[in-house]
Structure 1
């Protein structure tokens, strides 16, 4: 693998690591600082320009590999049509062409997945930021009780429930007496 495809592979591995970190179900108190640490380097203008240039070069490599795969396919079709017309194509030549096709396809998938994962990581990062903002907004708007207020509310609710239980017990006793009286009448 040439140097630039090795660098593309390094970018792909970096994106996989970043995506894995963003996709893990981490508690909010850990996710927020982690997201801010991951975001900090990408807020620099120089780094943003560098990333855009690298992605532009990866896009050019992707288009080049698509062109190479297309040309190799045409070469294979030409060779197979010449073989059927009586011309001979040595098996060694066919193996060499298939080998080039394999490497061109590998490079096409490598660059294509790198570009795809770039957009996926960017979108996932945006979703995580939106989620954190919504959680902060929800926490600010949700009512919070003092522990003393909670205890008072809980004690009041407990008294209400105990009163309801006593009323239901009295009703059950009354219905049992009524059922016994009806049973004696029969």
Structure 2
């Protein structure tokens, strides 16, 4: 295997490891920190830029390997059709090995490109999931605070209603007291009037007795 296909194989292994790491069942706090580091770190951004350039070369290798596979397959078919060229075992082995290597390189580069697309899409889906979970947690906290505020406001409303009832009862008692007070004053005035009249009558009787 040549050096560039060896590097492609190493890139494929790194993609597989990265995919296993990001889809692993990590705790929410660890996953949030990990994805925040991957999405906000400048070092990761530079590394991702270099990997994108590497994938451009992998795409070129894929096109070259695919064309070579088609060419080797066509040459093998022509050789089989001729019949005379395929009598030699070395020639047949040479065609078989060339076909195998061309297919291997095609599948290697193709699967590397395909896994890069899957890895990128999976990363952004999980990143959106982390953001959605954060927004859900914030919304849940705000809802809990608002519900507590509503409960507190309901309690305050109940207290206000109770105070209004107590105030109304106190006002009724005050009105009853005023009524009783007025009645007492009227009774006192009436008593004074009757006492004055009684005193006047008693005074007249005493004057008549003296006469």
- Structure 1-normalised TM-score? 0.71
Query: What is the distance in 1 between the residues matched to 2:104 and 2:3?
Result: 15
How far 1:67 moved relative to its partner?
Answer: 0.5
Aligned residues: 142
Runs of 4+, deviation exceeding 4 Å: none
Query: What is the distance in 1 between the residues matched to 2:15 and 2:45?
Result: 17
| Cα shift readout 1:103-136 (whole Å, capped 9, x = no counterpart) | 1111111101110111111111101110011001
**Who is 1:60 aligned against?**
60
- After TM superposition, list the pairs within 5 Å mapping 1:116-155 onto structure 2: 116-142=114-140, 143-144=143-144
Query: What is the distance in 2 between the residues matched to 1:11 and 1:104?
Result: 19
Query: What is the distance in 2 between the residues matched to 1:79 and 1:124?
Result: 45
- After TM superposition, list the pairs within 5 Å mapping 1:16-95 onto structure 2: 16-39=16-39, 40=41, 41-44=43-46, 47-83=47-83, 87-89=84-86, 90-95=88-93
- Considering only aligned residues, what root-mean-square deviation do their CA atoms show, in Å? 1.8
How far 1:88 moved relative to its partner?
Answer: 4.2
Q: Quick check: which has more Rg, 1 or 2?
A: 2
- Structure 2-normalised TM-score? 0.63
How far 1:48 moved relative to its partner?
Answer: 4.2
Aligned equivalent of 2:104, options 106, 109, 122: 106
| Cα shift readout 1:45-84 (whole Å, capped 9, x = no counterpart) | xx4442222111000000000011100111111111100x
Query: What is the distance in 1 between the residues matched to 2:76 and 2:101?
Result: 15
Higher relative contact order (CA 8 A, sep 6+): 1
